[in-house]
Amino acid sequence: MYRYDEFDHAFVKERVAQFKDQVERRLAGDLTEDQFKPLRLMNGVYLQLHAYMLRIAIPYGTLAPRQLRMLAHIARNYDKGYGHFTTRQNIQFNWPALGDIPEILELLASVEMHAIQTSGNCIRNVTADHFSGAAADEVADPRPYAEILRQWSTVHPEFSYLPRKFKIAVTGAERDRAAVQVHDIGLHLKKNEKGELGFAVYIGGGLGRTPMVGKKVRDFLPEEDLLSYTTAILRVYNLNGRRDNKYKARIKILVHETGVEELKAQIEQEFEHLKGGELSLPEADVAAIERYFTPPALPDRPEGEAILSREAASNPGFADWLRRNLHTHKNPDYAAVTISLKGIGEVPGDASADQMDAIAGLAEEFGHDEIRVSHEQNLVLPHVARADLKALFDRLVEIGLATANAGLVTDIIACPGLDYCALANARSIPVAQQISQRFGDQKRQEEIGDLKLKISGCINACGHHHVGHIGILGVEKKGAELYQITLGGSGDENTSIGEIIGRGFGPDEIVDAVETLVDTYLGLRTGKEETFLAAYRRVGAAPFKEALYGREAKAA
Amino acid sequence: MKLLTANRLIDGEAVWLGEGDVWVETIDKAVVAYDKDDEVRLSAVGLMSLNNNVVVDVNLIDVELVDGAIRPIRLRERIRAEGPTTHLHFGKQARPQAAANG
């Protein structure tokens, strides 16, 4: 785990006091809303439909049990008993009173958490692979680099007023689980032929109203140049990014309008000035931060396999869970465990205060005090002995969190949508719930296999629908909700943006439409090993269009 | 037909302008503007409340009467008035008074 140093503690404490004063002045009428709004947004406070919303940063999705317990405490005492984990590895509370927020921030600071830079045109919470430090396919743990970026970017004087928000993601494994190619900067850790660590660097990816896949500008950036090169990118963007139109202000538009080769030349030119200077990462500093992320001591537990074989044979539910919710750990005696926050028919990403407390306890008992938030809105215990999996599963069953659906059709990403969000045009959560119920049967889900379904309630694409194998976008048309479908999107190392397949569907039609798509896939796949995405990439949109729209599609 | 709605400054609660220019927490107690003059008057009260730091995000919204009850035209405003459609135990719909009213 990372730890705050003296600077961090003092800075966050001062910031809380500053915001407390700002809130007091706002409530006393000494600040107008126009004056206050940018100040509250700098502290993660939005105004939504029903109340204020507080977005709290969880850097690279890493949480300690005491932090999760504090989130539970806040949910219970300052909100309505639950929190919502988001695709940016943050948590949002939907109902806090403005007058309580300074107190909430004080509580967060006591466990080394805050809400700074979770909004605004600045560098947002840096995200990373949720299996960092545990995954067997990892080249290196990306979190030390994410932490270096966090420290560098926090209230960075040059980059606190960018043309628009700026998102950075880091992954350290061959398999990209951090969707780096749909971020403003995506960093993919790798080793060169000499065995040295560095990064493939992508810029200009993003979703929203203009979805784009990031362009690779460096195949291998040496580790020591991380901040120099990132600064060069930000500097070129800050100088040249459009400020005349907020919809065209992201770096992806700059890349598109300038051309990646020209922009890359500008970045390299800036980098030449910075390279080898004070932004170079000293090995000793990297090593010091890496020590924060030293994996826990994992004693040998070879008895696990025998326990699992025996228990799985007599407990099909446990066998299902083992098959779906485990990820291979570096240490063969251990596994990384996904705790699904997608119970059948439930709200994706929501966790109650009691569930948060319980998971904190499970992390202490079975998970070496570590919890991760995934960008897919689940929680992860990254280091669990295989010998303890049955005991963990039993406890998860008791708290209703043993759903064996990681990566299946019911493991849906959904933004808060019109039920909460002031920007949304249509609801997302009820659509997710209905699809989850329709496909809730475990055998049917497993027959369908890996399928990423993502739902957004507006064009801003917080539900990442563009990179869903099946994406659903809610829009408002003539005062009614309408749901457009995209197919073939993917947010992994082979990122693709889904294609809009045709006219949208009403709220009462969308679940049937998804079922039609799934049935079409089942009918045309070459075998169970061909996933929905692979089948779509092989056959294209035509059979899916025909299944959805019949003769109308053929005529088109 | 229109209503004036806003969010209360201190806690963000969705409110509507009611009789006596008092902000009320349920839409059924809101004052309806039937013509332009009414709308102008409500808007002026809203601006004053905004300037007095009582509420934020003041808007006139379209409503209709359904079986004698006020119903916003837009789903967004119906959700603001009642609560999330998926969490029926949150929002105004979960309040004892709302439950008693059926």
pLDDT of residue A5: 82
Residue A271, in any domain of the structure? yes
Q: What is the pLDDT of residues A404-429, one digit of tens each?
A: 999 999 999 999 999 999 999 999 99
CB half-sphere exposure, B61, CA atoms < 13 A: 26
| Average pLDDT estimate for A46-73 | 97
Asked if residue A278 and residue A142 are part of one domain, the reply reads yes
pLDDT of residue A337: 98
Using a CB-CB cut-off of 8 Å, the residues of chain B touching A47 are 7, 12, 56-57
Residue A342, in any domain of the structure? yes
Decide if pLDDT at A447 tops 60: yes
Percent of chain A past pLDDT 70, that is, above it, reads 99
Asked if residue A318 and residue A270 are part of one domain, the reply reads no
The answer to whether the beta carbons of residues A502 and A553 sit under 8 Å apart is yes
Residue A552 — pLDDT band, cuts 50, 70, 90? low
pLDDT of residue A554: 56
Decide if pLDDT at A73 tops 90: yes
Beta bridge partners of A454: A413, A471
Asked if residue A424 and residue A386 are part of one domain, the reply reads no
Cβ neighbourhood burial of A450 (10 Å; 0-12, 13-18, 19+): middle
CB contact under 8 A, B53 and A98: no
CB contact under 8 A, B10 and A47: no
Cβ–Cβ contact B76 with A under 8 A:
yes
Asked if residue A362 and residue A277 are part of one domain, the reply reads no
CB contact under 8 A, A51 and B12: yes
Asked if residue A310 and residue A386 are part of one domain, the reply reads yes
**CATH, residue A528:** 3.30.413.10
The answer to whether the beta carbons of residues A202 and A185 sit under 8 Å apart is yes
Asked if residue A212 and residue A148 are part of one domain, the reply reads yes
Residue of chain A minimizing CA distance to B14 = A50
Asked if residue A424 and residue A524 are part of one domain, the reply reads yes
SS3 state of residue A552: helix
> Which tokens sit at A398?
């008791």
Q: What is the pLDDT of residues A110-154, one digit of tens each?
A: 999 999 999 999 999 999 999 999 999 999 999 999 999 999 999
Whose tokens are 């700074």? That residue is: A116
Domain membership of residue B54 as a residue range: 2-101
Query: Taking the mean position of all CA atoms in its chain, how far away is CA A323?
Result: 23
Asked if residue A285 and residue A159 are part of one domain, the reply reads yes
Q: How far is A217 from chain B (nearest CA, A)?
A: 43
Q: What is the pLDDT of residues A248-265, one digit of tens each?
A: 999 999 999 999 999 999
Tally the domains of chain B: 1
ipTM: 0.94
Q: What is the pLDDT of residues A483-496, one digit of tens each?
A: 999 999 999 999 99
pLDDT of residue A7: 86
3-state DSSP: chain A helix, strand, coil percent, rounded to 5?
40, 20, 40
| Average pLDDT estimate for A350-357 | 98
Q: What is the pLDDT of residues A362-407, one digit of tens each?
A: 999 999 999 999 999 999 999 999 999 999 999 999 999 999 999 9
Residue A551 — pLDDT band, cuts 50, 70, 90? low
CB contact under 8 A, B75 and A479: yes
Tally the domains of chain A: 4
Asked if residue A363 and residue A273 are part of one domain, the reply reads no
Decide if pLDDT at B98 tops 70: no
CB contact under 8 A, A427 and B76: no
CB contact under 8 A, B14 and A479: no
Residue A408, in any domain of the structure? no
State which of A75, A110, A145 marks the end of a domain.
A110
**CATH, residue A30:** 3.90.480.20
Q: What is the pLDDT of residues A182-201, one digit of tens each?
A: 999 999 999 999 999 999 99
Cβ–Cβ contact B50 with A under 8 A:
yes
Residue A539 — pLDDT band, cuts 50, 70, 90? very high
CB half-sphere exposure, A507, CA atoms < 13 A: 18
Computed over every residue of chain A, the mean pLDDT equals 96
Residue A117, in any domain of the structure? no
Q: CA A117 to CA A125: how far, in whole Å? A: 7
CB contact under 8 A, B10 and A27: yes
Residue A195, in any domain of the structure? yes
Using a CB-CB cut-off of 8 Å, the residues of chain A touching B71 are none
Domain membership of residue A358 as a residue range: 304-398
CB contact under 8 A, B74 and A80: no
Asked if residue A198 and residue A275 are part of one domain, the reply reads yes
pLDDT of residue B97: 59
Asked if residue A287 and residue A148 are part of one domain, the reply reads yes
Window 54-73 of B, Cβ < 8 Å to A: 56-57, 73
Q: How far is A551 from chain B (nearest CA, A)?
A: 33
Q: pTM of the predicted model, to two decimals?
A: 0.96
Residue A220 — pLDDT band, cuts 50, 70, 90? very high
Cα-Cα-Cα-Cα torsion A169, A170, A174, A180, nearest 10 degrees, comes to 20
In chain B, count H helices and then E strands: 3, 5
Residue A422, in any domain of the structure? yes
